[in-house]
């Protein structure tokens, strides 16, 4: 039965929903097509945005304040029910409410199920208490865990590289993100596929789809993003993170959104040695292996032709004025720098590691895990 949109949102169950429940919809002709969700971390706003045609500029209406992180993305119009008025504007429009049963979610990334590489955990403690790891005892588990953090950041960059090569649908290969457990298991991943589907959002949506009753990401978990979270991603991350969690980014976005994201995250290279890529071409931010020391020696190839690349500083040197996020996927040099992360991980996996101390055991286990995970990653519905 037709009714004012304002009156529809006055329904008691919509005004005072049960914990986590939320709805969102849009006007389509004389109908108000809306979606229901039982979890605030899987907002119905996402289903509404996925459903309406790209050419449809319709506003999305919701009863969830927590879902309003999504309004910070360009070209998305989202209004909370409290803005509706009975006698004027959108609220006065006569519509027939039609609940939508079939939900559509953005494509996501997945990989083969693998056992966590660090059965004893410890990755969160290494991330939360991270300081320059140069003074950590050589051969210690702590030293290995500090190195492992850099490997996961390289893996996030590599995910962008692999996704570009695989031509994932809708991909804008600018940003990659990983959610990693204390035991080193990758719990969810995301890449930037445009609109509001930034890497961190895609990652969180993927995690909560797999864990629909969860109200936060796991305690003692770490998020690795190749770029400082933007304003919208910061809102979702802030709502979804657990008390004990750490967010690290690789490349700093110096725009306004980057400054917002820096409030809840930290640049990994500010806490430990910067993750290095490797390439046979001299790129911005690269140095000869001879200038670095034994850590950079790689089996195979001529040492003089292999360069270690400071990934985040190298990317910064490729960028011009304005938002970094809109440039990374366009600059040829930046693509080569991202590719260098994959090259570095491959070389590290192939490198023969002598000795059986705790540091080597951690590094070996993490690199093997990352290689298998990246090697089986794919785009999923």
What does the pLDDT look like over 32-74, one tens digit per residue?
999 999 999 999 999 999 998 655 778 999 999 999 999 999 8
Same domain, yes or no: 266 and 376: yes
Residue 162 has pLDDT above 70, yes or no: yes
Same domain, yes or no: 94 and 112: no
Q: Give the domain extent around 30.
A: 3-99
The pLDDT, as a whole number, for residue 299 is 37
Per-residue confidence band for 298, with pLDDT thresholds at 50, 70 and 90:
very low
Residue 292 has pLDDT above 50, yes or no: no
Among candidates 37, 195, 197, which has minimal Cα distance to 109? 197
Per-residue confidence band for 166, with pLDDT thresholds at 50, 70 and 90:
low
Contact 207, 200 (CB under 8 A): no
**Rounded distance, CA 218 to CA 123, Å?**
13
The pLDDT, as a whole number, for residue 303 is 44
How many structural domains does the chain have?
A: 2
Domain termination residue (choose one: 80, 99, 118): 99
Task: State phi, psi for 255 to the nearest 5 degrees.
Answer: -75, 180
Number of H helices, E strands in the chain: 11, 16
Same domain, yes or no: 56 and 126: no
Q: Can you point out the beta strands (E) in the chain? A: 3-4, 22-28, 31-37, 60-62, 78-80, 94-99, 108-110, 176-180, 186-191, 221-227, 245-251, 266-267, 276-279, 286-288, 307-310, 378-380
DSSP 4: E
What are the CA-CA distances from residue 29 to residues 46, 84, 98, 177, 263 (Å)?
20, 18, 12, 38, 42
Give the number of residues written for the chain. Answer: 381
Domain termination residue (choose one: 99, 133, 167): 99
Same domain, yes or no: 16 and 115: no
Same domain, yes or no: 84 and 48: yes
Same domain, yes or no: 303 and 360: yes
DSSP 63: S
Contact 127, 248 (CB under 8 A): yes
Same domain, yes or no: 282 and 144: yes
Same domain, yes or no: 147 and 274: yes
Same domain, yes or no: 60 and 147: no
Same domain, yes or no: 297 and 358: yes
Per-residue confidence band for 228, with pLDDT thresholds at 50, 70 and 90:
very high
**Rounded distance, CA 304 to CA 233, Å?**
42
Same domain, yes or no: 49 and 146: no
Domain termination residue (choose one: 64, 80, 99): 99
Same domain, yes or no: 157 and 261: yes
CATH of the domain at 161: 3.40.140.10
The pLDDT, as a whole number, for residue 324 is 66
The pLDDT, as a whole number, for residue 271 is 86
């Amino acid at each position: 039965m037709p009714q004012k949109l304002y009156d529809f949102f006055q329904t008691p169950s919509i005004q005072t929903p049960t914990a986590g429940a939320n709805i969102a919809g849009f006007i389509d002709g004389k109908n108000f097509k809306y979606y229901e969700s039982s979890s605030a971390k899987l907002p119905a706003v996402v289903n509404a945005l996925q459903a309406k045609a790209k050419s449809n500029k319709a506003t999305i209406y919701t009863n969830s304040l927590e879902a309003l992180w999504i309004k910070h993305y360009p070209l998305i119009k989202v209004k909370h029910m409290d803005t509706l008025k009975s006698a004027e504007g959108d609220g006065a429009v006569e519509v027939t409410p039609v609940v939508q049963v079939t939900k559509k979610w953005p494509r996501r990334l997945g990989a083969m199920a693998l056992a966590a590489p660090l059965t004893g955990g410890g990755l969160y403690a290494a991330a939360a208490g991270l300081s320059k790891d140069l003074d950590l005892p050589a051969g210690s588990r702590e030293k290995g865990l500090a190195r492992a953090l850099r490997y996961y950041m390289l893996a996030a960059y590599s995910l962008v590289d692999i996704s570009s090569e695989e031509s994932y649908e809708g991909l804008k290969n600018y940003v990659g993100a990983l959610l990693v457990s204390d035991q080193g298991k990758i719990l969810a991943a995301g890449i930037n596929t445009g609109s509001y589907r930034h890497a961190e959002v895609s990652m969180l949506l993927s995690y909560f789809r797999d864990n629909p009753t969860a109200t936060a990401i796991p305690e003692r978990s770490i998020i690795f993003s190749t770029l400082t979270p933007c304003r919208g991603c910061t809102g979702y991350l802030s709502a979804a993170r657990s008390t004990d969690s750490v967010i690290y980014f690789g490349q700093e976005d110096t725009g306004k959104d980057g400054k917002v994201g820096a409030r809840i995250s930290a640049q990994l290279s500010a806490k430990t040695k910067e993750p290095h890529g490797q390439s046979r071409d001299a790129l911005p931010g690269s140095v000869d292996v001879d200038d670095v020391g034994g850590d950079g020696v790689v089996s195979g190839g001529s040492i003089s032709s292999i360069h270690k690349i400071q990934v985040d500083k190298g990317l910064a040197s490729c960028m011009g004025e304005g938002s970094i996020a809109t440039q990374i996927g366009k600059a040829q040099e930046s693509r080569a720098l991202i590719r260098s992360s994959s090259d570095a991980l491959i070389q590290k996996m192939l490198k023969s590691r002598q000795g059986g101390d705790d540091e080597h055991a951690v590094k070996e286990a993490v690199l093997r895990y990352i290689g298998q995970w990246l090697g089986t990653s794919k785009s999923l519905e």
